[in-house]
Amino acid sequence: AEHRLMIHGLVDRELIFTMDELKRFPSVTRLHFIECAGNGSSPRRGRLIESHGMTSCAEWTGVLLSTLLEEAGVQADGTWIVAEGVEEVKGASSLPMAKAMDDIIVAYAMNGEPLRPQQGFPLRIVVPGFEGILHVKWLRRIKVVDRFYMTYNDYGHLRQDPDQAALSYQVGPKSVITWPSGGLDLPGAGFYEVRGLAWSGGGVVSRVEVSTDGGENWMDADFRGTPQRMAHTAFSFNWTWDGSEAMLMSRCTDELGQVQPTRAQREGGLDNSIQPWRVQSNGSVTNGLA
């Protein structure tokens, strides 16, 4: 009840909201993934949880940040925002105004319940499709500014020109086979349902393909349910294994036409490259990059 959210900086009216006041605004409830930029394929990471485990998908409820910014009145030279949490390190992120006025959620509930402490209670932002570190938890203030600010959370983008920094925030199209994956074993030749997840910061996943021969040939997988915008999408593929060594891979395409890259094609930012799993003739599954 004591928590406050301040909106200030280059605005016509500096505002301070209580939690009750925030909850009186029209709310939205949306399903979105969050993925840490620490995820990624590596020869040193043998199991799925080690390489791609730092992602989740949940239903978030809150008020659109654009609603609050409109209430405050953003001035013409306000082109970025800085969202700050209450951690001792002042965890904060710089975000472009175009994103702030689009779909960022100031969230107070997750999966129909109040946020848990580790998820940012009582307030956080959810930045659909952007790297996880930008989803500031324990949110206390949002400052409208006229340039990119180098905050603690933005340090990973230090090598980039500020005007281009946000271009790498969005997670590219990504998919990964979750079963079978590294560390698991197949009991022998036969029929198997290959399963996995796909997602993209660019919107809806429109297609997932699977290869069993290391990328020589690709076949369409089936969606398990209806793909949602910037949310995990489950897929499956029916595979009859003949018992010889195989290399399982998946790749996805999103509604923007972006295709998941190979490791050689990847250009930087969060690692969304194709993850291969090697199925050996004895049934053991290992990282295909090792």
Best CA proximity match to 7, nearest among 77, 135, 100, 89: 100
Q: Which CATH number fits domain 4-168: 3.90.420.10, 3.40.50.150, 2.40.240.10, 3.90.800.10?
A: 3.90.420.10
Residues of the chain within CATH 3.90.420.10 domain(s) are: 4-168
Residue 194 in tokens: 């290959």
User: Are the C-beta atoms of 85 and 3 separated by less than 8 Å?
Assistant: no
User: Are the C-beta atoms of 277 and 180 separated by less than 8 Å?
Assistant: yes
pLDDT in tens, 75-118: 999 999 999 999 866 678 999 999 999 999 999 999 999 999 99
Neighbouring residues of 93: CB distance < 8 A, sequence distance ≥ 6: 82, 83, 127, 133, 134, 135, 136, 151, 153, 154
Residues of the chain within CATH 2.60.40.650 domain(s) are: 174-287
pLDDT at 156 (0 to 100): 64
What order do you get walking across the sheet with 246-254 strand by strand? 219-220, 205-211, 246-254, 277-279, 285-287
pLDDT at 43 (0 to 100): 86
- Top pLDDT among 186 and 264 is at 186
d(C-alpha 201, C-alpha 131), whole Å:
9
In this prediction, residues 41-66 reach a mean pLDDT of 95
pLDDT at 170 (0 to 100): 92
pTM of full prediction above 0.85: yes
Q: Poorest-confidence range of 31-45, 164-178, 214-228, 272-286?
A: 164-178
Residue 188 in tokens: 């022998």
In this prediction, residues 134-161 reach a mean pLDDT of 84
pLDDT at 159 (0 to 100): 60
pLDDT at 69 (0 to 100): 99
d(C-alpha 81, C-alpha 8), whole Å:
10
Share of the chain above pLDDT 70, in %: 94
Q: Which CATH number fits domain 174-287: 3.40.190.170, 2.60.40.650, 1.20.1740.10, 3.40.50.880?
A: 2.60.40.650
Q: Is residue 191 predicted with pLDDT exceeding 80?
A: yes
pLDDT in tens, 55-84: 999 999 999 999 999 999 999 999 999 999
- Top pLDDT among 159 and 205 is at 205
Mean pLDDT of the chain: 94
20 by DSSP, 3-state: which? helix
pLDDT at 167 (0 to 100): 66
Q: Poorest-confidence range of 216-225, 230-239, 263-272, 279-288?
A: 263-272
- Top pLDDT among 186 and 157 is at 186
Q: Is residue 13 predicted with pLDDT exceeding 70?
A: yes
In this prediction, residues 4-24 reach a mean pLDDT of 98
Q: Is residue 12 predicted with pLDDT exceeding 90?
A: yes
Q: pLDDT tier at 266 (50, 70, 90 boundaries)?
A: confident
Hunting for tokens 């951690």 — which residue is that? 87
